[in-house]
Amino acid sequence: MDCIPPVLSLVFFSFICQGHLTGYQSNEVNLLDSKASQELGWISSPSHGWEEISGVDENYTPIRTFQVCNVMEYSQNNWLRTNWIPRNSAQKIYVELKFTLRDCNSIPLVLGTCKETFNLYYMEADEDQGDMFWEHQFTKIDTIAADESFTQMDLGDRILKLNTEVREVGPTTQKGFYLAFQDVGACVALVSVRVFFKKCPFTVRNLATFPDTVPTDSQALVEVRGSCVNNSKEEDPPRMYCSTEGEWLVPIGKCLCNTGYEVQGVSCQACRAGFYKSSPGNLRCSKCPPHSHTQQQGSDHCSCEKDYFRSAEDPASMACTRPPSAPRNVISVINETSVILDWSWPVDMGGRKDVTFTVVCKRCLPGQRQCEACRGAVRFLPRRTGLRNTTVTVADLLAHTNYTFEIEAVNGVSSLVPTHRQFAAVTITTNQAAPSSVAVIRKDRTSQNSIALSWLEPERPNGIILDYEVKFYEKQEQETSYTILRAKGTNVTLNGLKPDTTYLLQIRARTAAGYGASSPKFEFETSPDSFSISRESSQVVLIAISSAVAVILSVAVAYLLLGRFCSYSKSKHPDEKRLHFGNGHLRLPGIKTYVDPHTYEDPSQAIHEFARELDASCIAIDKVVGAGEFGEVCSGRLKQPSKKETSVAIKTLKAGYTEAQRRDFLSEASIMGQFDHPNIIRLEGVVTRSKPVMIVTEYMENGSLDSFLRKHDGQFTMIQLVGMLRGIAAGMKYLSDMGYVHRDLAARNILVNSNLVCKVSDFGLSRVLEDDPEAAYTTRGGKIPIRWTAPEAIGYRKFTSASDVWSYGIVLWEVMSYGERPYWEMSNQDVIKAVDEGYRLPPPMACPAALYQLMLDCWQKDRNNRPKFEQIVSILDKLIRNPSSLKIIANTPSSPHSPENLLLGWSTSDIATFHSMGDWLDSTRTLPCKDTFSGIGYSSCSTLPKTSAEDVKQVGVTIIGPQKNIVSSLTELETHTKNDPVPV
Ligand code: ACK
């Protein structure tokens, strides 16, 4: 070192303070760093060549450097060799040199030997060779020149640049190597030597850890498989590639936090208490849903509170729920052997939307406390379980049998609480029903003129089969003429048939309840002539048949004539003939037909034919419930020997009656006693042999329908209302099938029991004339309930089932308006006139359009256009089965009942009958007009006559007709007083 001028020496030391040493990257692993050691111990050869000097770096940390500057001497060959550097796992090795180098031109007096480069060498060795150093064994890596050399010698302002050069070593194969620096006459200071290799450092990507990875020496990427962090699992195997530059590339796949754990940074942490995570994934934990909790950390679900549950299908995010409460307000509408059950939704649905209903049917045998599960082919429509609506029809029950139906509400968690059954029960008794149809008919024998047939009893006889009706006719005759036979058993031989002819045949069974449905048509053929039986026998058959037909015909004709004679001589209403020729055919014996008690010479004979005599001691009267035409109506109990005590209504005949009054009073029982239908009030019997004379009927807890509806205004569901109407229609169908015309069908004459079953009552013969306070005298002297009666019945006493249908329409209106009085306070005279002119009652509030249409159909002027009761029942059944059809609400009817037409239909007296103009406008459903009339300042009927045509035009009635009509009506109003009696 002696040869280095002090000036140069200074140069080397001072740069360190001004230069800057950049830090190395984190993916670089050092094998050697000269700065890190104070005692390098490198070998310098010759010894006056490279010189080791102590200095400080930019942070004033002491470092060791080497320098050489023999520029003044020739033939320089100075070597500096590092210690042995183990290679470790490195494949690709880098050497980073930091040095300063002096520009030869800047050195004064320099010889021609001055150099500006030095050489870098390496030598591989599997182990440390000690101090042995043979230059010739080294391999040159590169000649190192300075990018930045310094020339300035101004000590005060020297800008010295540190050169950094990096070279790759290798490829290496042995365990280690040496580096050597050869100087051939330059002025160089080796500030630091760093030997390193690159690696891809440990990292966490997509919740997978990737270890430190050393790249290969080649250009190929190293594929590395990641491992999921704790509490996570692989969704897709995590992988990454480590590049030769020590960089991670292309992350693929990922891990997801386990259930109960959520992502926080690069790890999965347990959910806190009160939180849960039910699925693997990188979502956050969620708060426990309502009615659930968890006290533990890392929960994958929250447990339900006591009495709350979660079904297997419920997601963990759903609130815990519970079974629903029981259904409410079960009502039953019985029709022979079927029943429509209807109920309201439970108050508590348990917090779920999947509530359905299950119906359990139990048959209760008389005298037995326990009921047994229904057996046999009971049908549930639409089904028994999983009902989504609050109604079901149960069909094919046994006739005259007690049943209990349990309607259970269930939801998705009900099965988790098997002991918790929430149901509402209803007990019913089915009625008499006609037998089902004969399904199987067998041909036993055929001959030229006869056929022997047998068949199976109907599947549901619903009672004792009295006989079978066998109807047959020639196929080509198309039923224009046919023969009817009656068979006691299940076989018959038809004689007197034509040879080689095709016949059609139908059979139906008859019980006390009437005929069942006919069997399907059965076709058979008689044998051709060649199979003929003897001539005599066929003649005998023919004579027998002719005689039988002759006998039947003469009996029928005699019966008909007698009936006509009796009805003409006895009936007060010549229009009403009790013998019928249904469809041109004589009503055959066996079909139940109403018999007018007045056709009996001795009325007491009729009463004892149709009504049972009760012993007065069996009857206990409790209280008076109302007043009838002939005396009080009481409630009480009937206890007949070997029968259960039942609640009854007792109509009494007041003392001091005349014989005619007694006969009229009892005629109601004679009529009622002929009926047996769930919607007709049932007669228990009469007391005629002691006083007071009494008629005892079943007790109807809710009394008359009109007052019942008024008391419960707006409280029933539409289905309940339609159920009641259906019952009334079914009762009326039965009456019309029996040939009975009621003449006073009105809500006041319908009784309602505790199950909301409606039954037709009030059958007295004279009551239409005398008993009904609604009845008014007509111009012909009769007394008629005008508002309920069809125009032809008012006009010329044409009382028929079709006029009953008109009255049914009014009952329909009464029911839908909760007992409103038809035509309000209009006088009878005005009602007759308005109806005659085409006016019809408007739809009651919130009345389904389908029901209003039915009303209008019942009020067809031409009675032939009105529906039959059978059709009404079927329409109502359809509505009940399809409750959504009741959702369309009737508006103000359009033509021919548009506001204009309605107004046209009114006369001044119409208007006079209303309490106020508002009532009238309300009733005509011209509410917009009402508002606008108010707008033009009417306040009472007296101010309206002053209304001009212009005013009427103002309120939007622009058609000339209605304008004139309203104005003239309003003007005439002055001349009428409100309650003028109008003779009819
Ligand atoms: O509306 P209500 O209570 O029901 O008042 C009348 C009254 O008697 C006069 O007819 C009541 N009534 C009539 N028949 C019966 C019956 N079978 N059950 C209960 N109440 C009845 C009717």
Question: Tell me: the pLDDT tens digits for 343-400?
Answer: 999 999 999 999 999 999 999 877 677 788 998 789 999 999 999 999 999 998 888 7
Q: Which of 699, 708, 751 to mutate to test the pocket of ligand 1 (most atoms within 8 A of CB)?
A: 751
Q: Is 842 in the pocket of ligand 1 (CB under 6 A)?
A: no
Mean pLDDT of 130-158: 76
pLDDT tens-digit readout, 886-928 = 999 987 543 333 333 333 333 323 333 333 333 433 443 333 3
| Residue 749 Cβ < 6 Å to ligand 1 | no
Please report the pLDDT score of residue 125 as a whole number: 94
Confidence (pLDDT) at 419: 78
Mean predicted confidence (pLDDT) in 931-956:
34
User: For position 777, what pLDDT does the model report?
Assistant: 60
Does 429 have pLDDT greater than 90? Answer: no
The CA distance from 849 to 161, in Å, is 101
Ranges of H-type helices in 212-274: none
Of residues 559 and 891, more confidently modeled: 891
Residue ID of nearest Cα to ligand 1 atom 8:
626
Q: Is 851 in the pocket of ligand 1 (CB under 6 A)?
A: no
Backbone angles phi, psi at 235, to 5 degrees: -100, -45
Q: Which residue's CA is minimally distant from atom 19 of ligand 1?
A: 700
Q: What is the pLDDT of residue 937?
A: 30
Q: Is residue 324 in contact with ligand 1, taking CB distance under 6 Å?
A: no
The model's confidence at residue 932, banded by pLDDT at 50, 70 and 90, is very low
Catalytic residue among 314, 744, 877, 910: 744
Task: Tell me how far apart the alpha carbons of residues 785 and 774 are, in angstroms, rounded to a whole number.
Answer: 5
Phi, psi of 902 (to 5 degrees): -65, -45
Confidence check: pLDDT of 768 > 60: no
Summarize pLDDT for 568-613 with one digit per residue, the tens.
333 333 222 222 222 222 333 345 688 888 777 777 788 988 899 9
Residue 174 has a pLDDT of: 93
Query: Ligand 1: distance of its center to the CA of 340 in Å?
Result: 25
User: Nearest residue CA, atom 4 of ligand 1?
Assistant: 703
Task: Confirm if 3 and 50 have CB atoms less than 8 A apart.
Answer: no
Distance between CA atoms of 543 and 546, rounded to whole angstroms? 5
Tell me, what DSSP letter sits at residue 545? Answer: H
- Over residues 80-93, the mean pLDDT reads 91
581 Cα to the center of ligand 1, angstroms: 36
**626 C-alpha vs ligand 1 centroid, how far in Å?**
6
Which residue out of 629, 647, 652, 704 has the highest number of ligand 1 atoms within 8 Å of its CB and is therefore the one to mutate? 704
Q: Which of 231-245, 301-315, 737-751, 770-784 has the lowest mean pLDDT?
A: 770-784
Quick check: 78 and 50 in contact, CB under 8 A?
yes
Over range 218-226, report the average pLDDT.
Answer: 86
* Ligand 1 pocket, residue 495 CB under 6 Å: no
Question: Average of pLDDT values for 789-801?
Answer: 93
| Rounded mean pLDDT, 627-640 | 90
Cis peptide before 842 (omega within 30 of 0): no
Residue 219 CB: number of other CB atoms within 10 A? Answer: 8
DSSP 8-state assignment for residue 691: S
In short, whether 626's Cβ falls inside 6 Å of ligand 1 is: yes
Range scoring the smallest mean pLDDT among 78-82, 345-349, 772-776, 786-790: 772-776
pTM of the model: 0.43
Q: State the pLDDT at residue 901.
A: 34
> Is 744 in the active site?
yes
pLDDT of 862-889, one tens digit each? Answer: 999 999 999 999 999 999 888 889 999 9
d(CA 677, CA 592): 12
SS3 content of the chain, % helix, strand, coil (to 5): 25, 30, 45
CA gap 202, 26 in Å, rounded: 11
pLDDT at 778: 57
| Encoded tokens for 836 | 């005659």
Q: Is the CB of 138 under 6 A from ligand 1?
A: no
Mean pLDDT of the chain: 79
Tokens of 433: 């029903």
Please tell me if the CB atom of residue 533 comes closer than 6 angstroms to any atom of ligand 1: no
User: What residues are paired with 567 via a beta bridge?
Assistant: none
DSSP 900-930: HHHHHH--HHHHHTSSSHHHHHHHTT-HHHH
Which residue positions form the known binding site for ATP?
625-633, 651
Residue 785 has pLDDT above 70, yes or no: yes
- Select, from the ranges 50-54, 625-629, 698-702, 895-899, the one with the highest average predicted confidence (pLDDT): 698-702
Q: Evaluate if residue 733 carries a pLDDT over 50.
A: yes
- pLDDT score, position 36: 86
Residue nearest to atom 3 of ligand 1 (CA): 703
Q: State the distance from the centre of ligand 1 to the C-alpha of 846, rounded, in angstroms.
A: 29
Q: What is the mean pLDDT of residues 833-855?
A: 94
User: pLDDT, tens digit, for every residue of 1-50?
Assistant: 333 333 344 344 444 434 344 455 678 999 999 988 888 889 998 988 99
Give me the residue label for tokens 């990507």. 205
Which residue's CA is the nearest one to ligand 1's atom 9? 626
pLDDT > 70 fraction of the chain, expressed in percent and rounded: 78
The residue-averaged pLDDT of 727-753 equals 95
Ligand 1 centroid from CA 657, angstroms: 22
Nearest to 455 by CA among 416, 492, 424: 492
